[in-house]
Amino acid sequence: MSTPPASLRMVEVSGAEALWLLEGSALGRLVYTQRDLTVIRPGRHTWEYGRLVVRAPVQAAAVPLTATYQVDEVRAATGTGWTVTVAGPAEVITDPNEAAHYRRTLTGWTYGPHDTIVRIHPQTVSGFRLARGTER
């Protein structure tokens, strides 16, 4: 005989907690639209001076004016975890000294023309905790 599955729910977190969760992680996904298709690229990030800096395997010319970055940690066995989404205007870091700094501090996926450093100026930050039953 099996036990009935526990109810799962999403609890919205404050913007401050969402940023705290974002800062505590290192991996995420850069999401943007290109030619009416959604493109998802893995990325590593850092939060500095109120901006999100992402290193992702994407051509600089393909980076849109607005981008979304998603980070999550979900434990499948328990159905718990969290997810954070940051969206806003994006720009490619073209200054060679600044780009070199981020290439040293953020481990890359690939090297060469497809490894780009992007700065996202967050306009929206949303986060959710995934919880079981009546947990808060």
Other CB atoms closer than 10 Å to residue 136's CB: what's the count? 5
Residue boundaries of the structural domains of the chain: 14-130
Relative to beta strand 27-34, strand 51-56 is unpaired
Q: Give the predicted TM-score (pTM) of the model.
A: 0.83
Q: What is the pLDDT of residue 5?
A: 58
Give me the tens of pLDDT residue by residue for the chain, a chain 136 residues long.
455 556 778 889 988 899 999 988 989 999 988 888 898 999 999 998 889 999 998 888 888 888 999 999 988 888 789 999 999 999 999 999 999 899 888 887 666 556 889 999 999 999 999 887 664 5
**Cβ atoms of residues 118 and 56 within 8 Å:** yes
Alpha-carbon gap, residue 110 to 85, rounded angstroms: 24
Which residues lie below 8 Å from residue 78, measured CB to CB, with a gap of 6+? 132
pLDDT at 3: 55
CA distance 136 to 76: 19
Residue 95: the pLDDT is 93
Q: How is residue 131 written in tokens?
A: 């919880």
Question: Do 88 and 123 form a contact (C-beta atoms < 8 A)?
Answer: yes
The confidence score (pLDDT) of residue 33 equals 85
The fold of 14-130 is Pnp Oxidase; Chain A (2.30.110)
